[in-house]
Structure 1
Amino acid sequence: MSTVTEPFTGSRPEPGAFVHPALFYRDDDEYLAGTVPFVREGLAGGEPVAVAVPGERLALIRDALGADAERVRLLDMREAGRNPGRIIPGVLRAFADAQPADRRVRIIGEPIWAGRSGTEYPACAQHEALINDAFEGRAVTILCPYDAVRLDAAVLADAHATHPVVIPAGSAGELPSTAYDPAGVVARYNAPLPPGPDAPVLSFPFAAGSLPDARHAATGAAGRLGLGGVRLDDLALVTAELTTNSVVHGGGAGVLRLWAEDGYVVCEVRDRGRLTDPLAGRRPASRDQRGGRGLLLVNLVCDLVRTHTGPDGTTVRTWFAV
């Protein structure tokens, strides 16, 4: 294992300011030079520190930290962030909100890696863009590593658009991103979803009086496709939340569709409503909050959630691994 000697030299943030740099790296040495000193600086300053990166990268950081690793919250992003929509509420905010209000929080989050599928990536890009709104005005620093060798050029370009500052590969210094445009990224990836099958296993128009029937039809079809146990219960919960949301907020009716795809059961709900808040389902619910938890629950239990909203309505598509 190489010894990390280069210090992390990111700029010192203003009190109460959110900081969100992208770190580009080409190999393990550059990865460790950008992440381990970042962690140690946080620990030395009394800051709570979390690291949420893919398992193989997590092992590198853990080994390089040695005994200091015991003072860091370590999470495998392949598991904790399988669905990009759960990373803000279930990983980043879950850690930051649990810390004392008078301390800056420091997090390494790597939600995009070379193994991410093309189906997952649009949700990843939107996640990175939405972090900026989710933490605006918070004393939090989130460093996001990007593999400059294995990731596509378009992914690296998006990183410049979703991060206000960048750390180029081989450099320890921050630069302002001249391409920063998180709202543009959110809008660009709010594209119509790829069409599902012409003849799905289930296509069920529903309204207020048929919500229980829609849920039973979905669980029956998913069970026949091999989904069972807790995951079948999760699908029942998601179906109930999405169809109820359509009745209450989406014009009173919708269509539920379900099919099998590449080892997943895919469940989709379409209605005529308009989803106007890009952070809907990505904010943790406050203790005294009434309602508004439906999309949050959907993000927390699904393996992937993709949405598209436009003048003609909204589609929410969810994936459950069989």
Structure 2
Amino acid sequence: MTAPTTAQAAESFVHPAVFYRTDEEYLAALVPFVTDGLEAGQPVAVSVPGRQLALLRGALGDAANDITMMDMTVAGRNPGRIIAGVLRRFADAHPDVHVRIIGEPIWAGRTEVEYPACVVHEALINLAFTGRDVTIACPYDTAALPDEVIADARATHPLLWEPDRRRSSAEYALDAVLARYNLPFNGQESAGEFVATTLDDVSPARRHAAEFAQSQGLDADRVADVELIVTELVTNALMHGGGSCSSRLWRESGHLVCEVRDSGRFEDALAGRRPAEPRQVGGRGLLVVNELADLVRVHTGAQGTTLRAMLRL
């Protein structure tokens, strides 16, 4: 498999799913993608799980010193922070040249709770980078991942790079994917519901969250994270979500869950995923939540919007 020429890459935003079954296929697809970029003077970043990161580093040799390398299990633990914190951060640092990025946000260790957020992230890359001079190649291990994951990859990527050919994806369906994974949440028992109707209620909601976090044995730094997450979610709901909201907290599957519901509709799918502009006033709340939480999920519809931020315990 060969990487696209510089002329092809510069034409537009390019977003392929790269299918592989073995380490050999992985390296055959991605090492030329990296080295061709470096030879063309293009900045290259790699954010993949640790094992694959070591595999690429070993195959690239000294060339690995010329690229940015990140462990996706750390940088992208919460898929909601990948666009701003990994992809845009690197691409925006090189605005005048074509940029190549390898991003592998879905691996066999992802949980069923995490997976819908991963698919939504992959779909939203297409909106976040439309018109940008960037190639973002997303590897998928077809030997380890279920068939439905590979089917979703075909639906979220306009291009498919397979070991023996490259083609456009006939299954690409951005809107359908976003609608399919706009999933309602199951009801859960919580430590009590706190209803906020004005911004004066933000401080009591924050105290309520801190008390619950402390009761679960979180250390002071993590309690502060919970306070800030609830503060930002409640404030955002009151300002944009229809005038009132409710917040709940509980413990589930090794996570502390912070949930805020309001009666508004979540219209901007990229909210909380764009980097803040240097002189931007406000508008950072959901960005902060994505940065602090280990997972953020959203469901929105005619009856309102629910945001869940989850922190590992």
TM-score, structure 2 as length reference? 0.97
2:287 pairs with 1:296: yes
Q: Please name the residue that 2:239 is paired with.
A: 248
- Judge conservation of contact 1:10–1:174 (CA < 8 Å) in 2: no
Q: Please name the residue that 1:112 is paired with.
A: 106
Give 1:34 deviation, angstroms: 0.8
Q: Please name the residue that 2:274 is paired with.
A: 283
2:224 pairs with 1:233: yes
Q: Secondary structure at the match of 1:156?
A: helix
**Equivalent of 2:144 in 144, 150, 155:** 150
The runs of 5 or more residues in structure 2 that have no matched partner are: none
Instruction: Give the whole-Å Cα distance in 1 for the aligned partners of 2:310 and 2:252.
Output: 9
Instruction: Give the whole-Å Cα distance in 1 for the aligned partners of 2:216 and 2:305.
Output: 26
Q: Please name the residue that 2:40 is paired with.
A: 45
Instruction: Give the whole-Å Cα distance in 2 for the aligned partners of 1:204 and 1:148.
Output: 45
Instruction: Give the whole-Å Cα distance in 2 for the aligned partners of 1:290 and 1:243.
Output: 18
Question: CA 1:226/1:55 → structure 2, altered by over 3 Å: closer, same or farther?
Answer: same
**Mean CA deviation greater in 113-122 or 289-298:** 289-298
Q: Please name the residue that 1:309 is paired with.
A: 300
Give 1:11 deviation, angstroms: 8.6
Q: Please name the residue that 2:181 is paired with.
A: 189
**Mean CA deviation greater in 183-192 or 130-139:** 183-192
Instruction: Give the whole-Å Cα distance in 2 for the aligned partners of 1:195 and 1:152.
Output: 27
2:122 pairs with 1:128: yes
The runs of 5 or more residues in structure 1 that have no matched partner are: 1-5
Q: Secondary structure at the match of 1:167?
A: strand
- Judge conservation of contact 2:247–2:261 (CA < 8 Å) in 1: yes
Instruction: Give the whole-Å Cα distance in 1 for the aligned partners of 2:309 and 2:65.
Output: 36
Q: Please name the residue that 1:3 is paired with.
A: none
Q: Please name the residue that 1:160 is paired with.
A: 154
Q: Secondary structure at the match of 2:140?
A: strand
In the TM superposition, what whole-angstrom CA distance separates every residue of 1:201-238 from its partner, at most 9, and x where no partner exists?
23211221321111001011011112223221111111
- Judge conservation of contact 1:16–1:138 (CA < 8 Å) in 2: no
Q: Secondary structure at the match of 2:8?
A: coil
Instruction: Give the whole-Å Cα distance in 1 for the aligned partners of 2:220 and 2:166.
Output: 48
Instruction: Give the whole-Å Cα distance in 1 for the aligned partners of 2:222 and 2:105.
Output: 23
- Judge conservation of contact 2:6–2:40 (CA < 8 Å) in 1: no
Q: Please name the residue that 1:179 is paired with.
A: 171
In the TM superposition, what whole-angstrom CA distance separates every residue of 1:240-292 from its partner, at most 9, and x where no partner exists?
11111111111221111100112110010001111101111111111122221
Q: Which runs of 4+ in 1 moved over 4 A?
A: 9-12
TM-score, structure 1 as length reference? 0.94
Q: Please name the residue that 2:197 is paired with.
A: 207
Name the amino acid aligned to 2:184: P
2:30 pairs with 1:35: yes
2:50 pairs with 1:55: yes
In the TM superposition, what whole-angstrom CA distance separates every residue of 1:68-91 from its partner, at most 9, and x where no partner exists?
000010000000000000000000
2:16 pairs with 1:25: no
Q: How many residues align?
A: 312
**Mean CA deviation greater in 232-241 or 42-51:** 232-241
